[in-house]
Each structure stands twice: as C-alpha cells, then as structure tokens.
Chain A
Amino acid sequence: MTTTGRKQVLLLDDSALTLDMAKTVLEAAGFGVLTAVDLAALEGHLARSKPDLVLLDVQMPEAFGDDVGMVLRAVKGMQVPILLVSSLGDTELAQRAREAGVDGFISKRAGLDALVERVCAILGQGPRQP
C-alpha cells in the first residue's frame, strides 16, 4: 500500500516499453506502480516497500520470472499474490506458475485491458472511471 492509500503493484519486465505501458494503464486504474527492469531494481524496491501484488515477466535475459517467483515465495516468504506475465501460451504459463508455487498468470496476449481487469479482480478494486 502506498502512503496515499492506493494498492501497490510491483512489476518486473526487461522491456522498458512494456513497463511503461503497464504502469500507465494501472496508474490510470488507481494503483500505485513500481517498475523494475532487472533483478537489482526488483531487490531495491522490495527493500524499501511492501507491494500488494507482484507481477513477473517470465523470459528475461538474466532470469526466468517463475524462478524469481519461487524464491520470493519459498525463500523470502512473500505472502502477497505473485503472478507471471508473459506472451507464452496459457498451458505453459499455468504449468510454470504451478511449479513455481505462485498464484497464477496473466497472458500478455490478452492485452493491457485484461491486465487491468485481472489486477482489479485480485486486489478487489474496480477500475477508476475516467
């Protein structure tokens, strides 16, 4: 939760464009958004803040998001929802999420609107009307 009372989403993706698109639509929906383009940035955010939801890209140059999710959940004991976000197929994503012990996935193929809808559903918040 942010100091302004907004639920906070932490998003890890190696694509700066993807991060900016997701941040824009999620902030428009009323969420606070922290973005991390690599693991160092992710660790920095986690040291300073307590997000309400963590979204992890799967295929990145330095790590797989499902491995990162497994560490956050099993090693660091993170209890907030952790979801994988990827353009991989749903079957593979579901399997990766299950094996990593995280809470599910969001397909990039469903687009930005679906991303916002899913985050709203998970965090129990309706999208802010324009």
Chain B
Amino acid sequence: MKDDLRAVFMPRFIDTARARLERAALLLARRDDNALAGELHALGGEAAMLGLEEFADSARGGEIGARRGDLAACQRSLRTLGESLEQVVARGGPGGAP
C-alpha cells in the first residue's frame, strides 16, 4: 500500500482501534464473549487491511480466546493490543520511523 494512503487512514485506524479496545474492555468485564469476539474480529480485519500484521494476529488471538470463554487469554490480548496501539501511535503507523 502506498504511504500516502497509510497516512490518510492511520489516524482514523488509531481512533477506531482505541474506541474498539475501550468497548472490548467493557464487554470483557460483562463477560459478553460473543460481542467481545466480534469487536476483536473487526479490529483485526481493519489492522490486517492496513498491513499491521502483528496487531491483527493479537486481535485474532483475543477473538479466539473470547469464543472459547478464556478470560485470561482475552485479558492478555487486550493488554498486548493496547501496548501495540501505543507503539503504532509512537512511530506514526507502519510506514513511520521505528
């Protein structure tokens, strides 16, 4: 993907991802596993299309944990995703400086 397209969509991805992670944390607290899995699936798809493969894999891991009702896996996934998102922000997206 061209860097200019990344530049256009990365800020929106970051905003969307933050909102999805906030919703995911609430859904985890409520133990709404199906809705949590859906939220993480959507997040993973958006990340994948932007070339954020590790982020997408983490979201996929959380989604699988949610579908299995694995609370610990979901907690680990949300923590990892939060940290990964802040790394994406810090380097200005996948095309930014490491």
Write the residues of chain A forming the contact surface with B, with a CB cutoff of 8 angstroms.
14-15, 17-18, 20-22, 24-25, 57, 59, 61, 86-87, 107-109, 111-113, 115
CB <8 Å contact, B5 and A87: no
State which of B9, B38, B49, B53 has its C-beta within 8 Å of the C-beta of A59.
B38
Selected A-B contacts with CB under 8 Å, 28 pairs: A17-B12, A17-B13, A18-B49, A21-B5, A21-B49, A22-B49, A24-B8, A57-B45, A59-B38, A59-B41, A87-B41, A87-B44, A87-B48, A87-B56, A87-B60, A108-B45, A108-B48, A108-B49, A109-B48, A109-B53, A109-B56, A111-B1, A111-B48, A111-B50, A112-B1, A112-B5, A112-B51, A113-B1
- Chain A's interface: helix, strand, loop or mixed, by majority? helix
Residue-wise, chain B 27-41 has the 8 Å CB interface mask toward A (1 for contact) of 000000000001001
CB <8 Å contact, B48 and A15: no
Write the residues of chain B forming the contact surface with A, with a CB cutoff of 8 angstroms.
1, 5, 8-9, 12-13, 16, 38, 41-42, 44-46, 48-51, 53, 56, 60
